[in-house]
Structure 1
């Protein structure tokens, strides 16, 4: 009897650990076990599945093309080639890789009903790349905030602080350090428990990312909590310093303009008392005019301050979007690992939501640059116009080669087309010994000018 009780106790303990592992596996990836409350053949179920696929595909496409637009715009426009935008280009590259390696694999799991079709080894590769590129993207945002801090708080020392060597060093740290958090512990199997490893070997068609408590605390601190606190602190200092500099610049320019104006009116030998009285009387009515005159006297410093303010505002919006996108995921990530996946159960749709809201941050950064930064907005517009012109030219050329003459491939007026066609006919009459194909090619080339 005692022997039977010991066997039963040992069996219940092992069953509890296996149940905890399976439960954690069911929560770690939302599409492993889908148990909808409605029948699979209902119209609501089909609508939600279609909506999920459309939203995920939209996020992937927006992240790919939006970040590609950032890279091409900076490469094509010399005005954007500053140190801060090199961080932006590197961030865009990291977000593109998030879309390619993290989102696409997750999307394949979602549309296949939770089944992993790429094998045991590729499961570790996917988890490693997901952690790697997501961490790299967050660290880039941290570097951008530090760069903006020195540019605004210490503008005179900024060229000495942020040199090309330091830029390369920071980018090297940003791209190399996530490997110690992703590839090393995942392939060495330090990130999870032994029960989960046994479960994975028996179920290679299920790819989940179940972590132990130590790895969850370390990885979330390096990937989110520490960079997030640094960004919040840097932005707070940037905002306070930018506000202080703007107020000091405004007051100094207004005082200088008022002093100059009243000295001209009252004469250079005017007394300080009369000058102070005149300033007090006319300060309210002449405040705006003096501010405009101050800006006109030194447009360089004022425009530079405006650019720094816009950069600080853009940084604040980026940080706010970053926190709104990634905070739900990392809260779920840490709470589930510390509390236990069995005790702190989350529905599958909640896990899918926090994953893809975090992924959405990679597609959101180019939109923030385009909307809140005028230089990027102008560069994006020019880049898209050039792409449209190149596409229309290729379509026009293909259309002109595939059809018989005469054709019209230009957007110019009909009078211009008539003149071009008459000129072609004159050339044909002058050289009457041309072959038929040469005449056709000549007329087509004149029609497309």
Structure 2
């Protein structure tokens, strides 16, 4: 041991217990000298116990948190533990390792503080897996590892470069406009405007002037010419949301635009051309509206050139944890906060809820939780009662444990498939020991 090291003020006991823990654990005295250093800490940092014990903790870890955001210093000053603060350390080879840190004070038999303890978890594999998932199935504002959503994203990438009309079908809140923007931004029209119009929010008279514009004197109050949304879109994209709400009379005018690529502003006899690409969206089944006679068949065929059907969130629940984590990161950035994440009970409630408002409802739920949770982990007390209060009814008799087991089973099967049946590699990807994986295979009935 380096002669320059000082002798710690106390020596931690129970090394055998600490060595059985998979997280890195070390303790310091009030002089900031490392007093104990378990086996996992050696493996994560690449520094031996002999070299660590007796050294100042900042010489061992070289963390981005050591100077201004030292979690252990904050705990020793306040006496309060910290849970899952994220940062990074630099290992013996100079590699940056993302870690999650938790701290607590150490007291003697009289209750006097004599030092502190810190546990840290290596997040490298989790970060790698998260990056892989986002890289494989991300598109604009969408992230997913659901096979149904990935198929939609692949088709969206394929049609982005085409001038063809696209119809996006999906329930309210499923992200139709987000997908339309992603298609626009990936295509050759990305430098031109993206103009969105909610067709269901305007009566016919206003919708017509909004889409096609009007000339001075076309009606009372029309004091000047005003270009419409088709003119504003130019050679870009016009997004017609909730097109199933359009009246039969307006459907005729839209049909002409799609067929002949021209229109007349209100109060004008001059025909104007449009080169804008049309992307339409609906939360209704247009084929049934055609059968009932409330939607023109010829217009339906014109907008139904390429159809992208967004699955509802309840049919791709494997995306819920990924989306929830994404929204936590988003609102941490927006609010300048460090909310550490979501409790397991919240994930279970999310998986049992049917999400009638889809992804928009999930995002709103996370934003609401941010208002209530401060800097704490989001728990059930921060959720609307409708989400966690009716989970048993919505789960149709299935327990939270069954839902959790099913999600865990799906994750394990997917990991084994990705690693071509190599269970050792699958266990490493999942961040668990191989023997733990075999126990889960047996308990969950996975062959």
| TM-score, normalised with respect to structure 1 | 0.24
Q: Which has the higher contact order (CA 8 A, sep 6+)?
A: 1
Q: Counting strand residues as a fraction of each chain, which structure ranks higher?
A: 2
User: Which structure has the greater CA radius of gyration?
Assistant: 1
TM, length-normalised to structure 2: 0.24
